[in-house]
């Protein structure tokens, strides 16, 4: 009999320790955040800003750990959405381009020359079309939380100035893994070459491809001018909004307070990053010019020539995106 009491006390102690450990685990939870670029770029800074805001406001209950450079999908940025949907990724700050193969509605933003300026982008993301697109994302098993922005994409090359479609004839242009990009550059007479960003700079260095398209922030930070890209055309042919999002099961496992905090911090981080991206454009362009890059700006007639050259892309892709979403976006853009 006397030996049972110490055993009972030991059992009680172990049980108490297990309960404490369980409680602490429930209070402290780490979620992964995938992003394609590091915090040297505004895109990566958006993910880190989100993590920092959560750290400030979660009282230790949630921690966001950012995995840049598409680490969680072995560098294949087009697999990010599928990985998040399946649960391999908890959260992401992702590109509408990279997610468009799984969510066709996201191709709206890649329609060539559809969004004329930043005001149009804001009207769409903040309007009826934006709501419809978020619903389309959620239908695919991912919960969208907020918008960010990678910016308007510009065209660079190593051959010469480009101010009309004929200048693109036969040029090998690196594009992301989206059929819409293939169709756009084919319509312009170029030879689109699909490859990941990890492979792009080496290909530009060796001359395997002649050019590429990316926002000014990427051109500037990645020093694309150092790999022979000495000609840059500002044509704003499409915009790449970013989406802050969560895996559906992860979202459902959070408390209502945690979900509210995660959404609020995503919205705040997104607004911060959009403002930062836009405010830095003038300075980036000046720095690019100072490094000897020839910058071509299109006048209205030159711009219109590119619009007309890509009409066939709209005819093909508007039905795939959804007539209702495209019409809603047009209404958002035209609204007073």
Residue 85 pLDDT > 60 = yes
Q: Summarize pLDDT for 86-121 with one digit per residue, the tens.
A: 999 999 999 999 999 999 999 999 999 999 999 999
Q: What pLDDT score was predicted for residue 22?
A: 41
**In-domain check, residue 107:** yes
**In-domain check, residue 22:** no
Residue 5 pLDDT > 90 = no
Q: How far apart are CA 209 and CA 201, in angstroms?
A: 9
Q: What pLDDT score was predicted for residue 14?
A: 46
- Token pair, residue 1, equals 């009999």
**In-domain check, residue 177:** yes
Q: Which residues contact 11 (CB under 8 A, 6 or more apart)?
A: none
**In-domain check, residue 198:** yes
Residue 220 pLDDT > 60 = yes
Q: Summarize pLDDT for 264-295 with one digit per residue, the tens.
A: 999 999 999 999 999 999 999 999 999 999 99
**In-domain check, residue 268:** yes
User: What total number of domains does the chain contain?
Assistant: 1
Q: Summarize pLDDT for 133-148 with one digit per residue, the tens.
A: 999 999 999 999 999 9
Q: Summarize pLDDT for 167-209 with one digit per residue, the tens.
A: 999 999 999 888 999 999 999 999 999 988 888 989 999 999 9
Residue closest to 82 by CA, chosen among 262, 247, 249, 251: 247
Q: How far apart are CA 309 and CA 184, in angstroms?
A: 9
CA distance readout (Å), 250 to 43, 63, 261: 23, 13, 14
Boundaries of domain holding 270: 29-334
Residue closest to 138 by CA, chosen among 178, 81, 185: 81
Residue 83 pLDDT > 60 = yes
Write b or e for each residue in 49-64: b if 16 or more Cβ atoms lie within 10 A of its Cβ, otherwise e: bbbebbeeebeebbeb
Q: How far apart are CA 53 and CA 336, in angstroms?
A: 34
pTM: 0.89
Q: Summarize pLDDT for 285-329 with one digit per residue, the tens.
A: 999 999 999 999 999 999 999 999 999 999 999 999 999 999 999
CATH code for position 106: 3.40.190.170
**In-domain check, residue 60:** yes
**In-domain check, residue 101:** yes
CA 144 to chain CA centroid, nearest Å: 12
Residue 8 pLDDT > 80 = no
**296 DSSP β-pair partners:** 233
When the pLDDT of each residue in the chain is averaged and rounded to a whole number, the result is 92
Residue closest to 297 by CA, chosen among 239, 224, 231, 238: 231
> Mean pLDDT over residues 229-241, rounded?
97
**In-domain check, residue 12:** no
CB-based burial label for 258 (10 Å; 0-12, 13-18, 19+) = middle
């Amino acid at each position: 009999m006397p030996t049972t009491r110490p055993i009972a006390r030991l059992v009680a102690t172990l049980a108490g320790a297990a309960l404490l450990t369980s409680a602490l685990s429930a209070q402290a939870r780490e979620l992964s955040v995938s992003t394609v670029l590091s915090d040297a770029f505004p895109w990566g800074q958006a993910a880190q800003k989100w993590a920092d805001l959560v750290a400030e406001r979660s009282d230790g209950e949630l921690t966001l750990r950012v995995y840049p450079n598409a680490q969680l999908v072995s560098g294949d940025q087009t697999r990010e959405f599928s990985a998040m949907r399946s649960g391999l990724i908890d959260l992401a700050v992702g590109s509408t381009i990279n997610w468009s193969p799984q969510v066709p509605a996201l191709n709206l933003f890649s329609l060539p020359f559809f969004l004329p300026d930043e005001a149009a982008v804001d009207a769409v993301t903040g309007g009826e079309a934006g709501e419809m697109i978020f619903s389309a994302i959620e239908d695919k098993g991912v919960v969208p939380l907020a918008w960010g922005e990678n910016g308007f994409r510009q065209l660079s090359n190593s051959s010469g100035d480009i101010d009309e479609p004929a200048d693109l004839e036969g040029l090998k242009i690196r594009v992301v893994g989206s059929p819409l990009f293939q169709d756009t550059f084919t319509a312009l007479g170029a030879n689109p070459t699909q490859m990941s960003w990890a492979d792009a700079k080496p290909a530009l260095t060796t001359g395997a491809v002649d050019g590429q398209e990316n926002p000014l922030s990427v051109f500037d930070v990645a020093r694309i001018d150092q790999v022979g890209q000495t000609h840059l055309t500002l044509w704003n042919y499409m915009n790449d909004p970013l989406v802050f999002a969560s895996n559906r099961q992860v979202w459902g496992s959070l408390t209502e307070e945690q979900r509210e905090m995660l959404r609020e911090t995503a919205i705040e981080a997104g607004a911060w990053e959009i403002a930062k991206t836009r405010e830095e454009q003038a300075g980036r362009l000046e720095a690019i010019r100072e490094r000897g890059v020839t910058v071509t700006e299109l006048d209205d007639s030159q711009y219109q020539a590119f619009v007309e050259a890509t009409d066939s892309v709209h005819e093909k892709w508007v039905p795939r995106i959804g007539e209702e979403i495209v019409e809603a976006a047009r209404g958002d853009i035209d609204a007073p």
